Structure 1
Amino acid sequence: MRRDNSLLSPLLDCAHMRSLVLIGHGSHLNGESAGAVYRYAELLRSRGLYDEVVEGYWKEEPSLRQVLKTTRSTDVTVIPMFISEGYFTETVIPRELGLGHQGPVPPEGIARVLGGKTVRYTLPYGVHPGMADVILARAHEVLPDLNAQDTALIVLGHGTTRNENSSRVIYRNAERLRASGQFAEVHALFLDEDPKVGTWPEVVRAPRVVVVPFFASEGWHTLETIPEDMGLTGEVTVFPEHPHGPQTVYYAKPVGTHASVADVILHLAEEARGASERGGDEDRTHAEAWAAFLALAREGMRVGEALITPHGGLYELRHALDEGRPGDELTTAVTPEGLRDLTRRDEGGHHRPVHTFRNLPRGWRAVLSEADLPRGMHYLYPSVVEEGYAHQHQTLRATPWPTTARRQTGIYAKVQRATPKQVETVAKSVCGRCLKTRLWAGEKLPRTFFTGVPGALPCPEACTYLIAEVREAVSGQREQDAGSGK
């Protein structure tokens, strides 16, 4: 098919630009897992310092293998949204992004040219020195009049015997805050390694104690485990009898949910190796794909289960089965984020980690401008436009299952032992629910939604959901779950 370059000028006629990518873990089971990354992306987007802020995940979509395709610029900075260095930041993310790097990331980050894009990959935000200021901000929130005469600080980490990096960042921040002289004492304590949090009454002497959890988000540990281990009853707990006399504990919220983390992320991005104030150019292939898509959207089209209808410069998106229903019967979103929130769960309220499963909920509509439509589509069907366009032009490269399996490490390395029969059995169950055609398994897709077939979406590589299910099959867990009725 010949490319119509006459459509490109509105998209390519722009100043140099930069893309910022935030990488989270995500979850196949818990829809709240991605919430913190979404919130920071929205906050950073509102600052206007980058031309776009894009989210990517290990366990959700857009996946790590997809996310770089969705960036508009040839200048991309990638920030791992993790509280410390470890397996994901040093092994999984670099591997899945194709950075050709494994192991500790240097302080200035690493830079690679991938598919014509300069990609800079940084340390996780949690190890940046600026996090000491975030800890201090959390401490002042819960105890505004803290002072060096009578106030102790506990920087509380998770800790693990499997990776010393988990505790190293806690000790470093404790040292920085101890050197600041703003507290009578500063202690580093942990949930899962010594010195453990339960020892605090013996080691802390000051009458007032501020506890700041060095965690990325609010969750089971911050809401349940820590209060239980410390005997806390709320934000402020008085202990009239302790080895060192009466003590009052002030329990702060986790550092990872503080708004100033956005400043840390921006500092980290600007300090990345080779960071350029000039920025890059519009990625030409990306621009071509979206120019072609917008040309179709202006006439009205279907993609997957979604119907797109133009209305005087705006675009209405809704479930195709809701065609003809009055708008006042549908829940309406007017931002890409609103569309995201309406479609992240199915009609039963269950999390949708794979957006192309045939369970797009009904009963909603989104009304977006042409400028917002690409991000709305990014939330609705991540990377589908880019991959569909590439397949239409025979430039999309499929990754066969054996190659994907050999790339897996850690607990997923066992998928390398899966037999072809096991993979196919799992694929029938998982992929049978999906709109995509398995190019990675040798299936053919002669046409796409670009040529008027709504459900013709290419799948160039097995997704992490399928990988996880194959792992369960190799472990025998799928059979156990089936037998128990799960």
Structure 2
Amino acid sequence: MRSLILIGHGSHLNGESATAVYRYADLIRERGLYDEVVEGYWKEEPSLRQVLRTTSSTDVTVIPMFISEGYFTEVVIPRELGLGHQGPVPPGGVARVIGGRTVRYTLPYGVHPSMTDVILARAREALPDFSAQDTALIVLGHGTTRNENSNKVIYRAADLIRESGQFAQVQALFLDEEPKVGTWPEVISAPRVVVVPFFASEGWHTLETIPEDMGLTGEVTAFPENPHGAQTVYYAKPVGTHPAVADVILHLAQEASGALAQDGDVERGHEQAWQTVLSRARRGLRIGEVMITPDSGVYELRHALDEGRPGAELRTLVTPEGVRDTIRKDDGGEHRPVHTLRNAPRGWRAVLSEEDLRRAVHYAYPAVVEETYAHTCHALRATPWPTTARRQTGIYAKVQKATPEQVEHVAHDVCTSCLRTRLWAGEKLTHTFLDGVPGGIPCAEACTVLVAEVREEVSGKRGEKAGHAH
């Protein structure tokens, strides 16, 4: 019994940020090499603090779906997972026993040597006839002042491609450190320029920030009066969304420290939680806004407010992935980073087997089954706000300065529309959805949306457009 977890950044604002991780999870799941493949996120659900609880095996390998070593892979992810490790990850990864699970944490996939081939593949897609005579390549990284290691993979890839002699120029540029992407007209002289974002996913930066900083209007943008003359820029898709990355992920997992042991077992608490839910579901169960109704050996899921509507009036979903993709947006098409907000979309029904029901419920309400069952067993430990605040680093460290009044003010706005009961704030939850109370869902720790909003409150910027912060 083995579980594989893919960790992405995610976003509070842009649902596309998580798409690449979901796609790779689907590809790897289809190969059947692991008993389960689970996604976890820094900015979405299940969160890094929750994701280990959602795995059904005691043998877990965690792959950070990041392009380079840096702040997130060396500080944030190990901290939030409780690995007891900070700093550079050795080539074989880090192995720890956490809550009865053996957890192996690897290097990010982006440092794999074959990623240079993916860069070239993306360049060919954007400009099939690039040449060493008239084409420059920009390998575009994020960069950060918080960790000097984050730019190494970008420079290394640029150096390797430069040595191959396939381009007139090869330049590494960055969003958040020098040399910055906005300087490209000064440093690139070739008439044709291919820009390949060395990013893990299509998201805020690739869709908004980079085009804005470079003055791009689409996949091909002409600049008739640049300092070096007329230039045309060809904007490629990010390397992290290329299908070949699935092979890189599996290679990392196979080489993880102790991965060949394959001695995992079913995690008892996780299995007991789901057996309890399935037992209730066989008689009909409501979790939050979602109704589960048994019907001749299969189960139907739909929004509770659609109860009684003929199935012909609803869009029918037949896979857990269909539920996942539907539930991630509200009726207005807006991204839902927190699934327990009272804004689940209506107008759909899913007809699923019992096996698929588990994954569909997981997608609809990530970690809710496991945390609620743990709460009923008095095994869910709440984390008070001061503890959560003290754990924050980087740009979020300033939440430690928030007064209790500020935190409560923000929580009133953020948490009022959420189904969860704030155990972390001292609220009591005596009955859960397992007892027939649909909205009885525990919240053991302040979510990342609240942390981000408290940061904005302390900074005096709350209410403004804070794209990068979220």
Give the structure 2 partner of residue 484 of structure 1.
none
Aligned mates of 2:226, 2:399 — CA distance in 1: 52
1:193 to partner: Cα distance: 4.6
Pair 1:234–1:366, CA change in 2 (3 A):
closer
Residue 390 of structure 1 aligns with an amino acid whose one-letter code is: A
Give the structure 2 partner of residue 38 of structure 1.
22
Give the structure 1 partner of residue 406 of structure 2.
422
Of stretches 458-467 and 233-242 in structure 1, the one that deviates more from structure 2 is 233-242
Residue 354 in 1 paired to residue 338 in 2? Answer: yes
Aligned mates of 2:110, 2:219 — CA distance in 1: 24
Give the structure 2 partner of residue 472 of structure 1.
456
Pair 1:347–1:186, CA change in 2 (3 A):
closer
Aligned mates of 1:198, 1:479 — CA distance in 2: 28
Contact map agreement 2:17 2:202 (CA 8 A) in 1 = no
Aligned mates of 2:406, 2:176 — CA distance in 1: 37
Deviation digits for residues 160-187 of structure 1 (CA, Å, limit 9, x no counterpart) = 4554333211111123334445556544
Aligned mates of 1:417, 1:90 — CA distance in 2: 25
Residue 212 in 1 paired to residue 196 in 2? Answer: yes
Of stretches 379-388 and 349-358 in structure 1, the one that deviates more from structure 2 is 349-358
- Indicate which of 292, 309, 321 corresponds to 2:276: 292
Of stretches 67-76 and 333-342 in structure 1, the one that deviates more from structure 2 is 333-342
- Indicate which of 148, 151, 167 corresponds to 2:151: 167
Residue 212 of structure 1 aligns with an amino acid whose one-letter code is: V
- Indicate which of 48, 53, 60 corresponds to 1:64: 48
Aligned mates of 1:43, 1:135 — CA distance in 2: 20
Identity, in percent, stands at 78
Aligned mates of 2:375, 2:6 — CA distance in 1: 26
1:138 to partner: Cα distance: 1.8
1:114 to partner: Cα distance: 0.4
SS of 1:347's partner is: coil
Residue 156 in 1 paired to residue 143 in 2? Answer: no
Aligned mates of 1:443, 1:175 — CA distance in 2: 56
Residue 29 of structure 1 aligns with an amino acid whose one-letter code is: L
1:317 to partner: Cα distance: 0.7
Contact map agreement 2:74 2:88 (CA 8 A) in 1 = yes
Contact map agreement 2:71 2:146 (CA 8 A) in 1 = no
Residue 317 in 1 paired to residue 327 in 2? Answer: no
Give the structure 2 partner of residue 99 of structure 1.
83
Aligned mates of 2:203, 2:381 — CA distance in 1: 39
1:472 to partner: Cα distance: 2.8
Aligned mates of 1:215, 1:162 — CA distance in 2: 18
1:437 to partner: Cα distance: 1.6
Give the structure 2 partner of residue 446 of structure 1.
430
Residue 391 in 1 paired to residue 375 in 2? Answer: yes
Unaligned runs of 5+ in 1: 1-16, 482-486
- Indicate which of 120, 133, 137 corresponds to 1:136: 120
Deviation digits for residues 276-326 of structure 1 (CA, Å, limit 9, x no counterpart) = 262511111111111111111111111112110011221101111211110
SS of 2:339's partner is: coil
Give the structure 2 partner of residue 345 of structure 1.
329
Deviation digits for residues 318-369 of structure 1 (CA, Å, limit 9, x no counterpart) = 1112111101111221111111222222223332221111222222211111
Aligned mates of 2:47, 2:211 — CA distance in 1: 35
Give the structure 2 partner of residue 4 of structure 1.
none
Deviation digits for residues 54-83 of structure 1 (CA, Å, limit 9, x no counterpart) = 111111111111111101111111111222
SS of 2:274's partner is: helix
Residue 82 of structure 2 aligns with an amino acid whose one-letter code is: G
Contact map agreement 2:40 2:46 (CA 8 A) in 1 = yes
1:400 to partner: Cα distance: 1.8
Q: What is the 5 A alignment of 1:19-418?
A: 19-144=3-128, 153-180=137-164, 186-191=170-175, 193-195=177-179, 210-219=194-203, 222=206, 251-276=235-260, 278-418=262-402
Deviation digits for residues 344-401 of structure 1 (CA, Å, limit 9, x no counterpart) = 2222333222111122222221111111111111111111111111111111111122
Contact map agreement 2:290 2:304 (CA 8 A) in 1 = yes
SS of 1:411's partner is: helix
Pair 1:158–1:88, CA change in 2 (3 A):
closer
Aligned mates of 2:225, 2:425 — CA distance in 1: 67
Pair 1:442–1:244, CA change in 2 (3 A):
closer
Aligned mates of 2:212, 2:344 — CA distance in 1: 40
Aligned mates of 2:23, 2:175 — CA distance in 1: 27
Pair 1:188–1:277, CA change in 2 (3 A):
same
Unaligned runs of 5+ in 2: 466-470
SS of 1:156's partner is: strand
Aligned mates of 1:69, 1:156 — CA distance in 2: 36
Aligned mates of 1:418, 1:284 — CA distance in 2: 39
Larger-Rg structure: 1
Residue 257 of structure 2 aligns with an amino acid whose one-letter code is: R
SS of 1:62's partner is: coil
1:239 to partner: Cα distance: 8.5
Pair 1:345–1:266, CA change in 2 (3 A):
same
The number of equivalent residue pairs is 465
SS of 2:49's partner is: coil
Of stretches 59-68 and 338-347 in structure 1, the one that deviates more from structure 2 is 338-347
SS of 1:276's partner is: helix
SS of 1:433's partner is: coil
Aligned mates of 1:400, 1:192 — CA distance in 2: 33
Contact map agreement 2:6 2:64 (CA 8 A) in 1 = yes
Of stretches 335-344 and 174-183 in structure 1, the one that deviates more from structure 2 is 174-183
Aligned mates of 2:111, 2:156 — CA distance in 1: 9
Aligned mates of 2:218, 2:394 — CA distance in 1: 38
Residue 188 of structure 1 aligns with an amino acid whose one-letter code is: A
Residue 130 of structure 1 aligns with an amino acid whose one-letter code is: S
Contact map agreement 2:146 2:394 (CA 8 A) in 1 = no
Pair 1:155–1:29, CA change in 2 (3 A):
closer
SS of 1:141's partner is: helix
SS of 2:321's partner is: helix
Aligned mates of 1:478, 1:244 — CA distance in 2: 42
TM-score (norm 1): 0.86
Aligned mates of 2:236, 2:402 — CA distance in 1: 46
